[in-house]
Chain A
Amino acid sequence: MVEAVTIQRPRRWDARFSEDMDNAAVDRVLKLEPFRDMDHDRFPDTLSLAGIVSNDTRIVRFQDGDIVMREGDYGNSAFLVISGQVRVVLPPGLPETMLGRAPSEKKSLLQAVAQLWRNPPYPEVRDSYTAEENKGTASRIGGDQEARIFIQDVPTVLNEHRTATLGAGDMFGEIAALGRSQRTATVLSDGPAELLEIRWQGLRDIRRRVDDFRKHVDRLYRERSLASHLQATPMFQHLDQEAINRIVDETLFETYGDFDWHTQYQRSRDESFNSRLASEPTIVAEGDYPDGLLLVRAGFARVSQGVNNGHRTVRYIGRGAVFGMAEIVHNWRQDVSRRNSDTDGDDGDGAQSQSAPTDHGSTKTLQTTLRALGYVDILRVPTTVIEELVLPTLSDEELALYGHLDEQAETSDTFIGANTTDHSMIDPGMLEFLVEHRYINGTATMLIDLDRCVRCDECAVACSRAHDNNPRFNRHGRRHDHYMVANACMHCMDPVCMIGCPTGAIHRASPGGQVVINDATCIGCATCANSCPYDNIRMVEVRGGNGTFIRDTVTNAPIVKATKCDLCMDQLGGPACERACPHDALKRVDMQDLTDLGRWLNR
């Protein structure tokens, strides 16, 4: 008889952030700002502040020039400077080559081919599972794998790039940690520095219980992201620092919807369209005066237009988009032309003070309504500021581009760099479908054209081969017309599955940003599977190499792990499903790339 493999069921904090956080280190951290002022009674016994510091933080020491974090990485932790100082490299940042980026580990050609005969005969086998767990996340920290990238010629870098200095008591990295997003800047150690790294689960638990800390983090979170966000917006890129600073001072921060939007969405999925629409917070309504330019800093919003008694979705917008520019430009051009006309009337040969063309018409109110789809962070730059600092600096071509106003909702609120007509390539019904079911969140949504799919399941077979004979998606899902969105992880822009993972097993891979699960630290709690609004994460009972279920030494219950599509990140050539489809029926679509989506839908 084959003997069952048994292990102890993993629990929260089984995998500590660092084994080096002994009592002395924890005591030392608890005496630092802001921990020393925190009320320990606000934390339950099962989740004490000392416990959080002990398990969710670690002290990291950096030498001069070490890169603490890199712009573009997906970070799950924030840093607090204990001693020394660090430099934040301001935009445009360091070149990629200087950041020491290495490609993620992929299978060799031989290893890839060997999958044909090396894949285990049983489902969900974790042959190397025990070994992997023994090694563990904690043992890697401070070991040989803790290779740091450092800048060799620090003075040159500091001369050639603008930097900001952070010293003892300053915190950074919280934007990426809390927003589950990419790091917005590279940070270097300026001389020896000692930092406290707090992984986001700990940051979240402290933030939830300590008001001052929450306000402090939120203030940093809002303030620091603004300048870089503005500078990444095309219409602000050419502005000088003084103008940017003025805009930063005048900008209002607004938040709509719920951070945990997925729970509300799951509850309301079966409600009627109108009741769901009514539950979406209105950011600005059609017919309102455009009192500010809206910049979407995080999340998604629905742009809709009233049609008789209902609302038609015109498009969706997300991080990086601007809204309301067309109306502001239109109104400003009218004011300018009216003033010019008055001037011409007064002296007959008045000089053209602005390059804006003449355009006599009525003041335009907003042509569309903007609603929050889940959680949306909005930056509102007052119209007066735009009129004073931005519009006069734009060329005629730029004004024409941003100010293109069509009362059939052809406004210029688009993603950065996107063509304004991209959305028009997408059938309105399809657009409603994608927005309704929040598929717009996906960066690698699996779309299947059923008119071309011959149901051969080559996609599923290829996926299975690439994952030890375990398919990581289900060729099944919601349909619109002849398109299906299959149940495959979409690698969301806002990966709500990562919310609440007690061990951080589900995380963003670097450098691709894929949402992946670290099998070794997954405790099988199913939080991610329950959070995923798209039912794309499966819980599976894992087996040993001999095919028997791996069981908990105490309860004898099978060990369960979360599994999902990893976009074949360790395979050569990208997602196997897409490459295996002989009929061009399947595509992993980035829903933010409307051009690509529109073209694919209209092949």
Chain B
Amino acid sequence: MITFSRRRWRNGLISAIAAVGLFAWYTAYDVSLYQPAYLTGWLLLALIVLLTLYNGRKKLSMVPLGTAATWLQWHVYMGLLAVLTFAMHIEWSIPNGFLERLLALFFVAVAGSGLLGLYLSRRFARMLTRRTEEVVLERIPEFIANLRGEAEELVMTSAVETGSSSIADYYGNRLADFFAGPRNMRLHLQGSRRATFALMTDLNIMTRYLNDQEMVYADRLRRLVERKDQLDYAYALQSVLKGWLFVHLPATYGMILMILLHLLLVYSFGGAR
């Protein structure tokens, strides 16, 4: 079994050799007075078609077409080659026509979201493992609702049993919105715990006005806040881990449509080849 490090080296090396070969081919084409844009264009199209097949492979999990992990490796490294091919195709400059610019924008969106997705997949997976229990994204709202129910019951009981409104007031002012649904997504994605820290600080300040009986309720409320914070964290990271595909895939479809239009225009109005 090959190690990840060795695999990165191997695939990187193969891609580098392919890139050098591609560049040599491009140069040879260019000095032979052919139009290399046709070469890079068709190569790019071929690469994009191969790249899009990966999504089809994911749907056909029941057919022995190799593992999805192998396909993803191809997808990543061919994607990098596609970026190089694209750069050569546009001759390392921003296209000047509106449609070409739009197509380039789609390509950048696809490639950029892909690279970002790859980075997030590696980083967020580790972050999730370090900080949270395993919880399925789709069930997090349900767990949050349960926590909210527990918190509200706790606050009501506290008010009835202790005859004091300190905890209830604190809940109404600071926690009601916090428990209403997933919160602080941006801060969690940045790795910041500032929002939770602020809540805890306020909770600590509030404890100055509590007696021993209320302190028991405050401690239980603190634990609920911590659990809710964990769920928010998992929700934020998992949402992004799934969500980036909602940029990558639609941008891919848009790009393919633009490519078809681009081909039509090139072959309808292109000059001598």
Contact = CB atoms under 8 A, between A and B. Distances in A.
Please indicate whether A and B come from the same complex rather than being unrelated chains.
yes
A455 B62 contact: no
Contacts of A113: 60, 62-63
B125 A450 contact: yes
B130 to A, nearest CB: 8
B64 A454 contact: no
Contacts of A458: 58, 61, 68
A598 to B, nearest CB: 9
Interface stretch (A258-266, A530-538, A576-584): A576-584
Range for the number of chain A residues in contact with chain B: 35 or more
Nearest to B124: A454
A360 interface: no
B62 A581 contact: no
22 contacts: A109-B63, A112-B62, A116-B62, A450-B128, A450-B134, A451-B125, A451-B126, A451-B129, A452-B122, A454-B241, A458-B68, A461-B61, A462-B61, A476-B134, A572-B63, A572-B64, A573-B64, A574-B64, A579-B67, A582-B69, A599-B1, A603-B1
B207 interface: no
Contacts of B126: 451, 482
Contacts of B134: 450, 475-476, 479, 484
Interface of B: 1-4, 58-64, 67-69, 71-72, 121-122, 124-126, 128-129, 134, 136-137, 238, 241-242
A278 interface: no
A548 interface: no
Nearest to A486: B134
A456 B60 contact: no
B61 A455 contact: no
Nearest to A115: B62
A596 B1 contact: yes
A576 B61 CA distance: 7
B72 A578 contact: no
A482 B3 CA distance: 17
Interface of A: 107, 109, 112-113, 115-116, 450-458, 461-462, 465-466, 475-476, 479, 482, 484, 571-574, 576, 578-585, 596, 599-600, 602-603
A109 B60 CA distance: 11
B1 A116 contact: no
A313 to B, nearest CB: 24
A456 B242 contact: yes
B210 to A, nearest CB: 35
Most chain-B CB neighbours within 10 Å: which of A456, A482, A599?
A456
Contacts of B136: 455, 457, 475
A458 B55 CA distance: 12
A34 B242 CA distance: 66
A545 B115 CA distance: 45
A457 B134 CA distance: 12
Contacts of A475: 134, 136
Contacts of A454: 121, 124-125, 241
A254 to B, nearest CB: 37
Contacts of B68: 458, 579-582
Given A454-B121, A602-B3, A576 B62 contact: yes
B129 A116 contact: no
Q: Which 4 A-B pairs have the closest CB atoms?
A: A573-B64, A462-B61, A450-B129, A582-B68
A458 B72 CA distance: 13
Contact of B238 (A455, A580, A596): A455
Contacts of A599: 1
A479 B134 CA distance: 9
Contacts of A112: 62-63
A186 to B, nearest CB: 32
